[in-house]
Amino acid sequence: MQTIFFGVLRCIQAVLPVMRKRNDGHIINITSVSGKLYSPCFGAYTSSKAAVEALSESLAGEAGRFGIRVSVVEPGVIDTPIITKLDDRKVPSVYPGHKRIEAYLKASASHHVMPSEVAETVLAIANGEKTAFRNPVGADAEPLLNWRPSLSDEDWIASGSRDEDTWAAGMAQMGIDVKAFM
């Protein structure tokens, strides 16, 4: 929360007075599909990203009257070194969800969505080429953001308790082959 949420909040607090005075500005926050999709064993990260989503949406409604736009960029899995660092965990988890998250992240990273795609989206927003409030990035971003609302809360929560084959079959329906990474 200190870095992902409060860091964003402090940056906004620093620039907002100047933007209000100029009656112009654009705040672009990087969130994640995890800000809308709360996965088991990812609670701290999803909470911080959800907080940035909520802050951004609220701010967009507040700051618009001052000529200030707010946009969010919602990356899916981006091929960064954090994926390879998953294998360096010192203590194994007792929760099977960690293995699933790792398999999912590695399978999605194999699509090789590079950080430059996030940067290109930010640039397109800044240049006015993209005007939507929410801007998903990556092959898995939009399918995930559309898939979650199609499930009831109870079904989503229960998915964390499904057996490995059923879970992997569900991922395969979205075109993500996790079996090779399990």
Which of the residues are catalytic?
45
Whether the CB-CB separation of 102 and 84 falls below 8 Å is answered with no
SS3 10: helix
Task: List the beta bridge partners of residue 29.
Answer: 72
How distant, in Å, are the alpha carbons of 17, 18, 65, 126 from that of 21?
Answer: 6, 5, 12, 20
Give the ranges where 36-158 is alpha helix by DSSP (H): 43-63, 81-85, 96-109, 115-126, 141-147, 153-158
SS3 133: coil
